[in-house]
């Protein structure tokens, strides 16, 4: 077994604290990654606080993991010692169901193995995430991090990047289309960068007027403050696609109303309470309301390579792990530009 240091939530609502545990030994097809950086996702907060239910404790969060390959198994062919590698939101799946065979492992029909707050394929052994010094993963579930991507800025691509890239590709966003991005946070700022890079004319919809300058720097052409009365009236039916990145209660019907005939809205935020959808918001103009959850390994690698080619990465604020509680509170308040990333070197002294 491989001794590992981490930060864990011992129970729901408790502060994260130092936690030592064992990773499995490196098997024939495994890679051992010495973690250098791990992004802080809003979903970490939801799960640490058991806001979605079913949380497993102690919990070591973190699914935006990048680092250096320290050891490889005898049968590994995709990685060598010293390579930069990453781990996203899952570390294994059944591999045999229709979705796994299609390269859409995130929708595994049998047992997706999440990077943390879940169980291994034996459905007994808990999984621990990237707020830790190292991780062991099958090479088929690890990602190559292109050398041109700064590691600390690449970490959030493993969740925020693929979460926004996948629906943009699914709905074929491209040159000349009008795209709305709802919410300019960890997800939204990546949605703006990616949609703009694909040639779309991007509008950011936000409740925060102070974010307009940032939105335009990120690639947005237009900015709409949704606190102003009647903000949507002049924009009805003008958009090809809307990416909804908000994880708080909001009126989704207002954004569906922005869509042209057969336009689509993809929901990637995860509000705690159900959103109310009026039937005529969809019936009018034959609109589509879709959901999207990260991407498979193949598409995540495609996204990383795309970002490297386009010079795209996340805007981050680097923190030591000891400041994680402060980072959580600031994330909930929307007080981060635009993703916290843990410098895992800060764990070495714990």
Q: Could you tell me the mean pLDDT of each successive run of 10 residues in the chain, 350 residues long?
A: 96 95 97 98 94 95 98 98 98 98 97 98 96 98 98 98 98 97 96 98 96 97 94 96 94 97 96 92 97 97 98 97 97 92 90
Instruction: Determine, yes or no, domain membership for 34.
Output: yes
Shared-domain flag, residues 115 and 165: no
Q: Strand 201-206 and strand 84-87: pairing?
A: unpaired
Shared-domain flag, residues 103 and 210: no
The reported pLDDT for the residue numbered 93 is: 98
Parent domain of 180: 161-291
Shared-domain flag, residues 45 and 194: no
The reported pLDDT for the residue numbered 348 is: 79
Instruction: Determine, yes or no, domain membership for 202.
Output: yes
The reported pLDDT for the residue numbered 174 is: 97
The reported pLDDT for the residue numbered 10 is: 97
Number of domains observed in the structure of the chain: 2
Task: Report how far apart, in Å, the C-alpha atoms of 296 and of each of 29, 149, 222, 243, 300 are.
Answer: 19, 20, 32, 19, 6
Shared-domain flag, residues 212 and 96: no
Instruction: Determine, yes or no, domain membership for 305.
Output: no
Task: Report how far apart, in Å, the C-alpha atoms of 208 and of each of 191, 204, 223 are.
Answer: 17, 11, 10
**In whole angstroms, what is the distance from residue 143 CA to residue 78 CA?**
9
Q: What is the pTM of this model?
A: 0.96
Instruction: Determine, yes or no, domain membership for 302.
Output: no
Shared-domain flag, residues 6 and 151: yes
Taking each continuous run of H as one helix and of E as one strand, the counts in the chain are 10, 17
């Amino acid at each position: 077994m491989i001794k590992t240091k981490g930060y864990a939530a011992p129970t729901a609502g408790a502060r994260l604290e130092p936690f030592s545990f064992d990773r499995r030994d490196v098997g024939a097809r495994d890679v051992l990654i010495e973690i250098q950086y791990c992004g802080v996702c809003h979903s970490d907060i939801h799960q640490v606080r058991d806001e979605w239910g079913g949380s497993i404790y102690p919990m070591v969060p973190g699914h935006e993991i990048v680092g250096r390959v320290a050891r490889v198994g005898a049968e590994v062919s995709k990685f060598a010692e010293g390579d930069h590698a990453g781990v996203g939101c899952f570390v294994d799946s059944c591999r045999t169901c229709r979705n796994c065979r299609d390269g859409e492992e995130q929708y595994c029909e049998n047992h997706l193995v999440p990077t943390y707050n879940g169980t291994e394929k034996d459905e007994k052994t808990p999984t621990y995430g990237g707020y830790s010094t190292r991780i062991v993963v099958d090479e088929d579930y690890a990602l190559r991090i292109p050398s041109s991507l700064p590691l600390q800025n690449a970490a959030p691509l493993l969740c925020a990047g693929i979460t926004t890239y996948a629906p943009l590709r699914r709905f074929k966003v491209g040159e000349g289309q009008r795209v709305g991005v709802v919410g300019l946070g960890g997800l939204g700022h990546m949605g703006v960068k990616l949609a703009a890079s694909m040639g779309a004319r991007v509008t950011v919809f936000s409740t925060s007027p102070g974010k307009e300058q940032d939105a335009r720097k990120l690639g947005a052409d237009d900015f709409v403050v949704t606190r102003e009365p009647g903000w949507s009236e002049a924009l009805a039916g003008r958009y090809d696609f809307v990416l909804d990145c908000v994880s708080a209660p909001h009126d989704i019907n207002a954004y569906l109303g922005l869509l042209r005939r057969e336009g689509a809205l993809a929901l990637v935020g995860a509000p705690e309470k159900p959103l109310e959808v009026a039937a005529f918001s969809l019936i009018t103009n034959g609109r589509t309301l879709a959901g999207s959850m990260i991407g498979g390994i193949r598409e995540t690698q495609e996204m990383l390579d795309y970002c490297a080619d386009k010079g795209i990465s996340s805007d981050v604020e680097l923190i030591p792990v000891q400041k994680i509680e402060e980072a959580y509170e600031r994330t909930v308040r929307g007080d981060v530009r635009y993703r916290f990333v843990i410098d895992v070197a800060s764990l070495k002294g714990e």
